[in-house]
Structure 1
Amino acid sequence: MRRLKRSIILICFAVLICGCKPTFVSKKLSEEINNDFFNNQFTGILVYNPKTKDTIFKYNADKFFVPASNAKIFTLYSALSLLPEKIPAFKYSVKEDGISILGTGDPTFLHPYFNDSTALKMAEKFKKVNLVLNNLSEDKFGPGWAWEDYDAYFSPERSSFPMYGNVLTISNQDSLKSIPSTLKNNIQLSKAPKRRKYNENSFFFNANEKETIEVPMVIDTILVSKLWNAILPEKVSLSNYSGEKMEHIAYSVPSDSLYKRMMLVSDNFLAEQILILASSTISDTLSPAAIRVLVLNNQLQDLKQKPRWVDGSGLSRYNLFTPTSFVQVLDRLYKELPQERLFNLFPVGGQSGTIKNYYKGNTKPYLYAKSGSLDNNYSLSGYLLTNSGKTLIFSFMNNHFTVPTAEVKKRMQAVFEWLRDNY
C-alpha cells in the first residue's frame, strides 16, 4: 500500500513538473516580449513543439504581418508539392529538321550560378529553332513591388524563358566584362544615379568600381532575339504562343539545388520563377497567381488564417501572413520530409545564408530558419534545436520598428538562446 501511495505521489509530481514547464517558459518569454523595446513596434511570435503538439508560447500569433522573404517558405512548400525531382526546363516538339521550344519559367538556363545549358545543347542539334514566347499571363513585375527598384539586383523581371538570370553581370577587374558579352557595348562607363535607363537596356558602370554587379535586363523580344542569335547565329526565330501543344518535356537541374539557392541567399528571382515553374505543371499558360490559389485552396486549405499571398519572393508589401500560418506550413514540411533534407534547404544560424552572422551555436548549429527583411520589418521562421534534444518550430515576426535591424536581431537572438538552453 505504501509503495502504491509512493508511486502515485511520484507520478503526480512528474505531471506537476511537466505541466509547469510550458507555464515557466511562457512567463519568461512574456517578460522578454513585454518591454519598451518590443512595445514600440508590432511583434508576433509562436513557438510550437511538433512532437507533443504543445504551444510553448504565443503572442499576437493570429495577427497579420508583412512577411518579406518569409513568404519564400510558402513558395518552397508549393514547389515541393508540385514539381518533380528535376526542374522542367522547357516543353518542345520536333518536326523534321526543326524544334519548337516553349518556356516553363526555368531560371537556370545560362544563369551565372547554375549555368545550365540544357536548351542550348538540344537546340544545337537542329537546323531551325522556333522559340515560342509570351505564354506568361502576368506582368513582369509582381503586385506591390517598388517601381524604383527596377535597376536593383534583387528585382529582375519575371519571364517565361529566362536567360542569364535576367540580369547583366558587369565586372571591371582587369578590363570591362559582361555576361552576356553581347551587351558589353550597351554599358557606359560613367557614374549615374541608376544602373540602367528606366525602360532600356542601356547600363551605367562606374569605371573606378571594383565590385561585380548585377543589373536587371529589360526582357523584350528584341533582347531575346539578340541573345539567342549570339549563341546560335541565324538559327533562331521567335513566335507568340497561340495555344499549340508541345509533345515533350526536357529537364535541367535537380530541384533541391534550386530551392536551396533560393532559401540560402533569399533570391527573389528564383522564388518568382519557381512559382511560374509550378504553374507549368498544370498549364502551358504560366500563371503564378493560379498556383497560389491552387495551393491555398487544396494543400493548405486547413490554415487557421488564410494569408494574403501575392508573390513568390516577398518583395511586395501587399503580402500578409500570420506567425500561426508559417508554423503550420513548417510543421507540414517537418512531417513530410526527412530532417536531413529539410534542414539542408534552410540557412543555418552562424554558418550559412542570410543568418550566417547571427544565431551561432556554442558547439553546433541550433537554428535552421528563413529570414525576411524589408525596411522597418524583420522576421524569422524555422526550426530551433534545444540542448535537451527537442525540436521546436517557431515564427518570430516584427513590423514597423524604427531602430536598426541589428538591434531587433540581437533581442531575438536572446530569446532563441534562452529557449535553446532552458527548454
Structure 2
Amino acid sequence: MKKITFILLIFFVLTSCISKKSAISKAINTTLASSFYKNQFTGILVIDAKTKDTIYNQDSHKYFIPASNTKIFTLFAALKTLPKKAPAIRYINIKDTLYFEGTGDPSFLHPYLKDSTALNFLKNQSNLAFVSGNFQDEKYGAGWAWDDYQWYYSPERNALPINGNVVVSYKNTELVVSPPYFKDSVIEILHKDNRNEFSNIFYYPPQSKDTLETPFITSLQTSTSILEQALGKKISTVVTMPIGNKETLYGIETDTLYKRMMHESDNFIAEQLLFMAASELKDTLNSNLIRTHILENELQDLAQQPRWVDGSGLSRYNLFTPQNMVNVLDRLYVMVSEKRLYTIFPAGGLSGTLKNRFAGDKQPYIYAKSGSLSNNYCLSGYLLTKSGKTLIFSFMNNHFRESLSDERLRLEQMLHTLRDNY
C-alpha cells in the first residue's frame, strides 16, 4: 500500500511539473508569436536553479550581442581571481626610493568610490618612481564606437586610473573641476561637444546646472602630473620595475567594485577589473590574458565558445548565447551565497539599473543584469517564483526596431508568467 501511495505521489508531482511547464511554454510562445517579435531575434533559456531542469528554451544555442550582460562574465572572472580587497598598487622599496606600478584598480580617487588608500600611502614616501611599462593593452576596447570618446560611459583604460579617468565639472557659485589639474582646461562656452576630440580641452555650458563627467585623454605625462599635484611632490618615471620581490598594497573591498559595476552598469570599472584580474596572474596588464585564461581554464566546457572581447559589453564584437549566460549564472549561484549574490546584482524595482522596472509586489522577485545597445536589449539573472522556487534565466533580444520601453514591457509579462506559474 505504501509503495502504491509513493508511486501515485511521484505521478502527481511529475504531472504537476509537466502541466506547469506546458502552461508557461504556451503563454511565452503566444507572446513570441505576436507581430512585435516578427523582425527581431530572440533567444531564451530558463532553468530551475536547484534541479537544473529546463523550464523554457528557444534558440538558446544561438549567438547574440550581449551588451552589458558581458559584465556577468567579468564578474565571474573577478570573483575567480581577485582577493577580498583590491590590489591598489604594487611596489618595491630600494634605498630611499619607492618604485610603484598600477594594477588597474579603478578606485584611486574615483569620484564615487573615493578610496584614498594608495594616495595616503604614497604621501608618506620620500622619493617616488612611477613604473609605466606593465600596461600592454589599448586605451579603448576592440569594436568600441569612436564617437563615444566624450561620454561618461567610455573613459580610456590604463594601469593607474585617477578620478575614474574623467573630468567632473559642476557649478557651485563658480565652476568646480576635478581633478583640479584640469581647472584651466574647462571653458565655459556653449558648444556641441563636451570635449575636443584630440586634446584635453573641455566645454561647460555657462547656464548649466548639471554635473558633467567627461573622459580625459590619458598619457604617462598627464597621469604623472595629476598625481604630482594630488601628492604635492615630484615623481620620476621609469619603464620597468627593478629586480626584486614586489609587495602589494590592498585597498577597497572588491565587492564594492562589483556592486557598482553591476548596479550602475559601470563600464570603466568592468574594464579595469579585467586588468586587475590579469595582474594577479602575471606582471602584464592585458585584458585578453585574463579572458583567455578564464575561457580555457574555468569555462572550457561551455556548449558554445563565446566571442568575448571586452569587460563592459560596449563592443558589438561580443557574441554570447543564452546558454553561455545561464551556465555562468549557475556557477555564480553555486560559488556565492544567495545573500551576497543578490546584493551584487541589481534588484527589480529597488536598485541600480532595475530600480524603475521589474518590481515585485512587496519585495524584489528579479535579481539580474540588463544590457542595452541601440536595437538590442538583454536581461539575465535570477527569478524568485511565488511558489518559492529560484529560476536562472537569460532573455536576449537583438535587432529590434520597436521602442525599448515596449521591449521591456513584453519581457516583463513573460517574467510574470514564470513567477506566477512555476
Same-fold call, TM > 0.5? yes
State whether residues 23 and 421 of structure 2, in contact with CA within 8 Å, keep that contact through their aligned partners in structure 1. Answer: no
- When residues 41 and 244 of structure 1 are mapped into structure 2, their CA distance, relative to the original with a 3 A threshold, is farther
For 1:8 and 1:271, how far apart are their aligned partners in 2? 51
State whether residues 127 and 235 of structure 1, in contact with CA within 8 Å, keep that contact through their aligned partners in structure 2. Answer: no
Correspondence for 1:287: 286
* Alpha-carbon distance, 1:23 to partner: 2.4
Correspondence for 1:343: 342
Does 22-31 or 128-137 show the bigger shift? Answer: 22-31
Correspondence for 1:414: 413
For 1:249 and 1:7, how far apart are their aligned partners in 2? 60
Correspondence for 2:33: 34
State whether residues 82 and 277 of structure 2, in contact with CA within 8 Å, keep that contact through their aligned partners in structure 1. Answer: yes
Correspondence for 1:209: 208
* Alpha-carbon distance, 1:245 to partner: 5.0
For 2:242 and 2:406, how far apart are their aligned partners in 1? 53
- When residues 153 and 333 of structure 1 are mapped into structure 2, their CA distance, relative to the original with a 3 A threshold, is same
Does 5-14 or 328-337 show the bigger shift? Answer: 5-14
The ranges of structure 1 where at least 4 consecutive aligned residues each deviate by more than 6 angstroms after the TM superposition are none
Gaps of 5+ in 2: none
RMSD between superposed Cα atoms in Å: 1.5
* Alpha-carbon distance, 1:232 to partner: 2.6
For 1:8 and 1:233, how far apart are their aligned partners in 2? 79
Correspondence for 2:72: 73
Matched position secondary structure for 1:176: strand
- When residues 12 and 121 of structure 1 are mapped into structure 2, their CA distance, relative to the original with a 3 A threshold, is closer
Correspondence for 2:307: 308
- When residues 97 and 29 of structure 1 are mapped into structure 2, their CA distance, relative to the original with a 3 A threshold, is same
* Alpha-carbon distance, 1:191 to partner: 1.6
For 1:363 and 1:346, how far apart are their aligned partners in 2? 18
Asked if 1:255 is matched to 2:261, the reply is no
- When residues 163 and 5 of structure 1 are mapped into structure 2, their CA distance, relative to the original with a 3 A threshold, is closer
* Alpha-carbon distance, 1:5 to partner: 5.8
- When residues 20 and 316 of structure 1 are mapped into structure 2, their CA distance, relative to the original with a 3 A threshold, is same
- When residues 189 and 245 of structure 1 are mapped into structure 2, their CA distance, relative to the original with a 3 A threshold, is farther
Correspondence for 1:324: 323
Letter in 1 for 2:172: Q
For 1:97 and 1:146, how far apart are their aligned partners in 2? 45
Letter in 2 for 1:218: I
Matched position secondary structure for 2:155: coil
What is the 5 A alignment of 1:90-239? Answer: 90-239=89-238
Does 24-33 or 47-56 show the bigger shift? Answer: 24-33
For 2:10 and 2:329, how far apart are their aligned partners in 1? 34
Letter in 1 for 2:65: V
Matched position secondary structure for 1:26: helix
TM-score (norm 1): 0.97
For 1:309 and 1:245, how far apart are their aligned partners in 2? 35
Deviation string, structure 1 residues 342-380 (Cα, Å, up to 9, x no partner): 110000100111111110001111000000010010100
Deviation string, structure 1 residues 366-401 (Cα, Å, up to 9, x no partner): 000000010010100000000000000000011101
- When residues 176 and 82 of structure 1 are mapped into structure 2, their CA distance, relative to the original with a 3 A threshold, is same
Number of aligned residue pairs: 422
For 1:6 and 1:171, how far apart are their aligned partners in 2? 72
Asked if 1:390 is matched to 2:389, the reply is yes
* Alpha-carbon distance, 1:6 to partner: 6.6
For 2:4 and 2:241, how far apart are their aligned partners in 1? 81
For 1:375 and 1:11, how far apart are their aligned partners in 2? 48
TM-score (norm 2): 0.97
* Alpha-carbon distance, 1:296 to partner: 0.3
Q: What is the aligned-residue identity percentage?
A: 46
Letter in 1 for 2:421: N
Gaps of 5+ in 1: none
- When residues 188 and 244 of structure 1 are mapped into structure 2, their CA distance, relative to the original with a 3 A threshold, is farther
